[in-house]
Amino acid sequence: MSYTVLARRYRSTSFDTIVGQEPIARTLKNAIESDRTAHAYLFCGTRGVGKTSMARIFARELNRSHELQEENKIGEAVFRGNDLDVIEIDGASNRGVQEARDLIASAGLAPSRCKYRIFIIDEVHMLTTPAFNALLKTMEEPPSHVKFILCTTEPHKVPSTIQSRCQKFDFKAITTSKIIDHLKFILQKEKIKADDEVIAEVAMLGNGSMRDALSILDRLLAGGSTTIKLEEMEDLLGLPSQTAMYKLCTAVAHSKLQEAFLSSDALISSGISLDRVLEVLAMSFRNALIGKVCGADTPMLELSDGAREIITTIGNQLNESQLTYMIALCDATSRQVRRGGTGRALFDATIARLCMSSSIAQAGNILSSNEPSARNKKKRITANSSPSTKPVVVTPKQAEKAVTSIPSKEVNWESIRTCIARTPGLKRIVTYLEFSKLDGQKLTLKISVDGTDSVNYILAQRQRIEQTLAQEFGGTFTVVIASNQQATSAPSVTDSFDAVKNDELVQTARGLFEGTIVQVIATPPEDT
């Protein structure tokens, strides 16, 4: 005897056994009992949520016979798809206008043994526009013995004229908890044992589709084992090891870059694709975020007790904004590595960014916790206050200055000149600067170029030079720029704007292109 897959063997056969779509089942059942059934129905929803099963159950209940033996024959024929009065049509294979005309002609025939002649059209959105137009009149005013049940995964492709002639039911994705309960029921019937982590992982991989979850379970059962372990499932399905993933997440949360690199390399060496590792990593950070905000016991987390503990530990190391950033970064990088190119380099860079962002978040928390509130700033210390009780407040700027007061690299004119020369926007002016004096972190430079505009432009770059040196060497630098020529004040923004506005060439260009002056930017001196 041939094997029947779980999705077919455990398919719902009554309204009471429907999983995840109980409100729709109850509505249709009540409509039959009260004799208030419509002539056409439209079932919408993603794959594997029970649309076709619901259509077959509804068709059988509509044609229920008073004779038990006859009822059983009708029910079996309906679920086999070979009943004479319940006709299933594949919209993808019968999508033309001629097939629609044949259906209309068939609708005129009276049912052979049942009350209704029922047409179930699966993937109805695949019909052509002429086919839809041919069905319009029949679907609006069908014979009293005809019922239409249309099923689709893409309702937006079904013309509004068709939808307006149907009672529409939206099938929602089945919750993970209900998939888990159904999987446990099936495993009990099959006399198979499985770890709770295995069942939860299969349910989540189903992504709201019962059929997809049962297909994955079929793959696991094909191994022949009576007990399914987590390690076996990971090897068979090619999933990243949960232990290795949590180790990677923990290394990232603690900003241990070396451990993170080693853990990620072990995952990739086991044959797991880069994008898959990033997807699971993003889901792990999502779980940490949900656990941090909603608590580890929230039903939103379908995890084992051990996994919940690990997720809680990871969440305690990071704040909500940081976890959100990590999820977005993993998702963006996952899409990029699928396009090929330097996928591994981009992946490793992402791991490094995750580790560094973790340390930045922790530093930000420390600084923000030391920053006085606006209310505390307004308070005055009274004269009778004890000196021992006075709070010592360190502002973020003071903390930054204290940390960066000592250069981390040796500073000399050659290293300074090299640093300025490779900085965009400054490399053009380095040839016009001469070294004068370096006193600690006070640097004095001379300008070796004439011209008021050039001098003014170089003087305007002083603050940028200070920032560049601070980034390169650490510490806080003070730059003094001296000129042999007496510098004049740079023209104001208003003066520069008016000068450009009144320029004859600019006026001509504005007239030709109907343009508007948005901004006036000074340019550096030209290289000679």
Q: What is the pLDDT along the chain (528 residues), one digit of tens a residue?
A: 578 888 888 888 889 889 989 999 999 999 999 989 999 999 999 999 999 999 999 998 888 866 555 666 777 778 777 778 888 888 888 888 898 898 888 888 888 888 889 999 999 999 999 999 999 888 888 888 999 999 999 999 999 999 999 999 999 999 888 999 999 999 999 888 988 888 888 988 888 899 999 999 998 888 777 888 888 888 888 788 888 888 899 888 888 899 999 999 988 888 888 888 898 899 889 989 998 898 888 888 877 777 788 888 888 888 888 899 899 999 988 888 888 767 888 899 999 999 887 555 554 554 555 555 444 444 444 444 444 444 444 444 444 444 444 455 667 777 887 888 778 777 777 777 887 788 777 888 888 776 666 777 778 788 888 888 887 777 777 888 877 654 444 444 455 556 666 676 677 667 656 666 665 555 544 444
Rounded CA separation 219/221 (Å): 6
Read out DSSP for 463-495? HHHHHHHHHHH-S--EEEEEESSPPPPPPPHHH
Q: Name 19's Cβ contacts closer than 8 Å, sequence gap at least 6.
A: 12, 50, 174, 178, 179, 182, 210
pLDDT at 232: 83
Give the pLDDT score at 24. 94
What confidence score (pLDDT) does residue 58 get? 93
Instruction: Please name the residue that has the structure tokens 């993003």.
Output: 282
Distances (CA, A) of 174 to 48, 266, 456, 490: 9, 35, 69, 68
Report d(CA 12, CA 211) in Å as an integer. 11
Amino acid 518: pLDDT: 61
**pLDDT at position 3:** 80
pLDDT at 338: 83
User: What domains can you pick out in the chain, each with its CATH number?
Assistant: 6-170 (3.40.50.300), 176-237 (1.10.8.60), 242-366 (1.20.272.10), 413-483 (3.30.300.180), 493-528 (no CATH)
Ramachandran angles phi, psi of 43, nearest 5°: -100, 120
Cα dist from 323 to 32, 317, 350, 358, whole Å: 50, 10, 14, 9
User: Cα–Cα distance between 199 and 176 in angstroms, integer?
Assistant: 10
Identify the pLDDT of residue 501: 65
CB 285 within 8 A of CB 305: no
CA dihedral 369, 371, 376, 380 (to 10 degrees): 130
Cα distances (angstroms) measured from residue 255 to each of 259, 356, 358: 9, 6, 6
Number of Cβ within 10 Å of residue 166's Cβ equals 20
For 48, 116, 119, 476, the CA distances from 87, given in Å and listed in that order, are: 21, 11, 5, 82
511, exposed or middle or buried, with CB in 10 Å at 0-12, 13-18, 19+? exposed
CA-to-CA distance for 305 and 230, rounded, in angstroms?
Answer: 15
**In the block, residue with structure tokens 């179930």:** 120
Confidence (pLDDT) at 523: 52
Cα–Cα distance, 252 to 415 (Å, whole number) = 34
